Structure 1
């Protein structure tokens, strides 16, 4: 390990990721109907175990908001949390099997336009979801990414509702925090030693605690005293109580068919979220390093086995944590591992201090992360690439905003495939002419999907023309294509069109 690089980049980045991850871990556990500490366990294991075993240098793992609905429904169906933990362990085993089966290749089939759409949508979601927290309206849990929320509202109605429940102190802290972050990342300070070793988000959190203390003492109108506006977490009476926070799986339920079904569902969904997150993280990585996806599935599988064995939620690679890690300047996986260690030590050593952190200060950090993911420059660059790139990009953003991450990406994929097929239809059949001599060239393999394009091209051939159909570049010609040409040759006789075939 490069010690100078660690203290200059990875350690400060790990502190930023810790500050982002802590409320997300707690919020996701709360929304999942699981013990509060289960989210923290998943965050610790995701950081240390998945971070150590992963081939990614910048990805950060932990509990994922996309799994909350599945977890909540599974715990209810199985009747106990220990039974659900058995599912988490088995899901980890399935993920390891998927890794050895080379299922990670699925991640390579997601187009860049969809990946960038996913990143842009997550940026917008972070902004929309964190504005209520910045205003002091903390009705929904931290980390929620779904359009429909647990309280029956949706992202937009919750945003409107938040303006009716403004907490003045929270707004002041959020605005001050955003101002500090903007100054800290300005060109004048970005390369200074102070900003390298003291992360802006850490300064914002400490400033938030200090300002709220001043408000409590001297300006009660702005004071944030209600616990729902501060980080909420379990506090141990003593270290001797630490083992009570862990829950063991109920292995007596292994014969229940529902266990295997839930485990398989968790494995598939967690693996897909991980692969998408890794692809997105690789795009954000300034060094453009490529993560081995099969190794990632094995790493996530092992992390889920460990997390499930000690009472933690399922673990996936999480794009919000990963993007925060990259934006904070992380260079190696040491950042992810260290964030897990900090999470463990902080929960054990300073839980009462953590409970003083205003959620509005954390919201400011996530608002900045969101803005960096969905900058106007992203939209400009995708627009310049034309409709075939821009429309799948926008479709992915809209779909993720109105559904969830996986459904949105699938919709974006469908739109992208449409443009790929459309391009394939047109580019596979090339028509050139000189006088009454026409050439139809098949520039690539042709299937029944190209039949419509071929028919449209053949219709353009006028009577009394000479036509050569050249298939030299096509290694495969579908039966439907041959039938279409055969039918045209019969018709051509009546129109006095001479048809010659080459390499059929």
Structure 2
């Protein structure tokens, strides 16, 4: 784990700067105490990072859960009662891992996973544009299209022109140019520029500029445009800021429903993030999904016990980790340690960091996730890949992550049905004198999904024709198809259709029954 310190330490610092405002913003978007987001980030980094087998995944509070958390806190009427639901959700996630439910993530098509990454990249860019210009009406960690302020993503961007903070804009533009110049030009000239990330330098320089601007009236940046960490007067006061769960109603129906909902949604988001992160990994490591559920479950138990929000593996921080060239889980652990240090030792120093420079870092991350070349690549792969991909992207951008993913999955299933209809058999027609000869070869596996196409072809055969039906390559034939063939045998006699059947049990002309030629197999797909 310590072999790649030169990669993991700079990457952890970058992820820390990305995670810090997101932890606070997600807490704000969830109507929860600001410290609860930081606690979830710390537990997700140090504890879950240590338990997880993911080398580059980063865990913490997830924007996708913000709406569920806000609704749960409101319905329960107490943040402490909500914390008991978080603890119970962690127990349920451990049970999911024991029952080996982690395979669920493998049943989502690659086109949907790529659509998820691209949609998140676009959301990151769109949501950071107002912060880049110094317009911070919406919380940093929000990702819903319709905002709590009453605006939507695009209307908020439209209002940026009338709400520009000049100091924030200058720092944001400078940070963006610096990162691009550092990563694309300087890093190719000397190894020193590869050792230190451009985004880290941009944050450092942006903070210095903010301090300088604070002494200039025209460029001064107000506190609401800076990172805002709770500042206890003494370190001993940090413990007094913690909130602890109230277990008095843990087995009531309201708490149980919220706990199960949190466990289910957090597990699904984690598994999809694991799948997506593994695809981003240059070394293509595979994360054991059941172990990840177990780690996330324990993380949620500890987070809930000390006042933290629910935890999942999160793609924004994970992708920032990958793009910062992290190699091992040490990067995720160190980012959690940095969050802890920031809360205990240097909150006032970090409160000088402008949000606009962090927005510049995230805009670069978002662009790398949603490169225009990916749209072109998916288009050239054909409609079966492009349609689920673009549908996932559009729905995620205009609604939220989970609705977008399930929309893409639903379209993926429709694509499977269409292709199953088209590919159930190979059909070749040829003329032979006065007779029409139809050669029909069944696919390797024929299920009830193929009923429509097979029935259409068989029952549309013309009178006085010849059917050469080849089922020798068919290893599985659903009984529904056998019944169609049985019905066709009767019609074939009435329409004077000659049937030449080739099966693994021999060749038969004009069979009176098809059942005897098939060895029906009960298979679980």
Q: What TM-score does the superposition give when structure 1 sets the normalisation length?
A: 0.96
> By how many angstroms is 1:489 displaced?
3.0
1:266 to 258, 262, 265: 262
Q: Deviations over 1:147-197 (max 9, x none)?
A: 111112211111112222111111111110000000110144246333233
Query: Partners of 1:279 and 1:489 in 2: how far apart?
Result: 48
1:372-391 correspondence to structure 2 within 5 Å = 372-391=368-387
Q: Deviations over 1:61-102 (max 9, x none)?
A: 000011111111111111211111111111000000000100
The secondary structure found in structure 2 opposite 1:185 is: helix
Query: Partners of 2:140 and 2:469 in 1: how far apart?
Result: 62
State whether residues 25 and 39 of structure 1, in contact with CA within 8 Å, keep that contact through their aligned partners in structure 2: yes
Query: Partners of 1:256 and 1:192 in 2: how far apart?
Result: 62
Distance 1:245 1:197, change over 3 A: farther
Tell me what 2:512 maps to. none
Query: Partners of 2:162 and 2:307 in 1: how far apart?
Result: 39
Structure 1 stretch displaced more, 417-426 or 407-416: 417-426
| Superposition misfits of 4+ residues, deviation over 4 angstroms | none
Q: Which runs of 5+ in 2 are unaligned?
A: 504-516, 519-525
Tell me what 1:34 maps to. 32
1:95-494 correspondence to structure 2 within 5 Å = 95-190=93-188, 192-217=190-215, 219-224=216-221, 226-435=222-431, 436-458=436-458, 461-494=461-494
The secondary structure found in structure 2 opposite 1:164 is: helix
Query: Partners of 2:43 and 2:86 in 1: how far apart?
Result: 13
> By how many angstroms is 1:418 displaced?
1.1
Query: Partners of 1:389 and 1:240 in 2: how far apart?
Result: 56
Query: Partners of 1:227 and 1:287 in 2: how far apart?
Result: 42
State whether residues 392 and 405 of structure 2, in contact with CA within 8 Å, keep that contact through their aligned partners in structure 1: yes
Tell me what 2:14 maps to. 16
The secondary structure found in structure 2 opposite 1:189 is: helix
Query: Partners of 2:283 and 2:460 in 1: how far apart?
Result: 50
Q: What TM-score does the superposition give when structure 2 sets the normalisation length?
A: 0.92
The secondary structure found in structure 2 opposite 1:134 is: helix
> By how many angstroms is 1:128 displaced?
0.5
> By how many angstroms is 1:265 displaced?
0.6
> By how many angstroms is 1:462 displaced?
3.5
Distance 1:455 1:372, change over 3 A: same
1:74 to 72, 75, 82: 72
Is residue 54 of structure 1 aligned with residue 52 of structure 2? Answer: yes
> By how many angstroms is 1:59 displaced?
0.5
Distance 1:188 1:105, change over 3 A: same
> By how many angstroms is 1:36 displaced?
0.9
Distance 1:384 1:320, change over 3 A: same
Q: Deviations over 1:283-325 (max 9, x none)?
A: 0000011110000000000100110111100000000000000
State whether residues 113 and 390 of structure 1, in contact with CA within 8 Å, keep that contact through their aligned partners in structure 2: yes
State whether residues 19 and 201 of structure 1, in contact with CA within 8 Å, keep that contact through their aligned partners in structure 2: no
> By how many angstroms is 1:252 displaced?
1.9
